Structure 1
Amino acid sequence: MKIAVTYENGMVFGHFGHTEQFKVYEVEDGKVVSSQVCPTNGSGHGALAGFLAQYGVDCLICGGIGPGAQMALAQAGIKLYAGCTGDADERVAELLGGTLTYAGAATCDHHHDGEGHTCGDHGCGEHHCGSHDCHN
């Protein structure tokens, strides 16, 4: 199984469509066995789901994400954990341990130019992982 995280300087990057790289984790028997940082080469919102599918990604951990990108991920069969922040490695460990907290509707459907806005912090309802597909 493979888990991808929007990635910047060790942290979950806050906006899916603007991420310049993903950290992709290879998981076997519930443990990370390897990881690599993969540049997106500026793919943009629509192409990123295809980019992840090419890498064989099963799950994505990210910050904010728009409804179009959510739909593209769903069509690619990629399980989404949006609204996450903080250390990327820690979020993956929480996902594997069943304790990841994420927002069920961490959408960013507006445009903003200012720094300091985190799309995942819209106060959407939080969900706690239980027995999701990514735990196996």
Structure 2
Amino acid sequence: MKVAIAVDEGSVAQHFGKCQEYAIFDVLEGRIANLKYVANPGHKPGFLPPYLKGLNVDCIIAGGMGQKALTLFAENNITPILGVSGQVNQVIDDFVQGKIESGVSLCTHPDGQHDGCDGHC
């Protein structure tokens, strides 16, 4: 399984599409393999789910995303896990140990921009 984590300054990014980079790793036989970081190529509506699918990602971990992104990830057979926060290395370990569960999207924007990402991300 190939997993991507949206990353900002070493922590899980609040917004998957506006992160600095993605930590992408394989989980093989209960261990982490091939961890690499890929710069975010830019937030353009509808672009990132197929882009990550092109990198063979099966699962995306982030603090949050909007409904449009959720739909696009489903169309690309990528499972989103939302409501996650913390240091990336710890989140990777927790994921491998089965301790990560999806929760409520944490995505917010300053000054009410994008109305909490609904229909946007």
Tell me the TM-score normalized by structure 1: 0.74
Equivalent-residue separation in structure 2 for 1:41 and 1:107 (angstroms): 22
Aligned pair 1:89/2:106, yes or no?
no
Give the total of aligned pairs.
Answer: 113
Equivalent-residue separation in structure 1 for 2:61 and 2:77 (angstroms): 14
Aligned pair 1:59/2:59, yes or no?
yes
Q: Which has the higher helix share?
A: 2
Would you identify which runs of 4 or more consecutive aligned residues in structure 1 move more than 3 Å?
Answer: none
Partner of 2:26: 26
Equivalent-residue separation in structure 1 for 2:106 and 2:11 (angstroms): 19
Contact kept? 1:5, 1:62, Cα under 8 Å: yes
Q: Secondary structure, in 3 states, of the residue corresponding to 2:84?
A: coil
Unaligned 5+ runs, structure 1: 120-136
Equivalent-residue separation in structure 2 for 1:57 and 1:30 (angstroms): 17
Q: Secondary structure, in 3 states, of the residue corresponding to 1:6?
A: strand
Unaligned 5+ runs, structure 2: 117-121
Aligned AA (1:112): P
Q: Secondary structure, in 3 states, of the residue corresponding to 2:95?
A: helix
Aligned AA (2:110): H
Partner of 2:38: 38
Partner of 2:102: 102
CA shift for structure 1 position 43: 3.6
Identity of aligned residues (%): 27
Contact kept? 1:5, 1:22, Cα under 8 Å: yes
Cα deviation 1:28-71 (Å, max 9, x = unaligned)? 11210121110122143421101110100011110110000011
Partner of 2:110: 112
Aligned AA (2:78): I
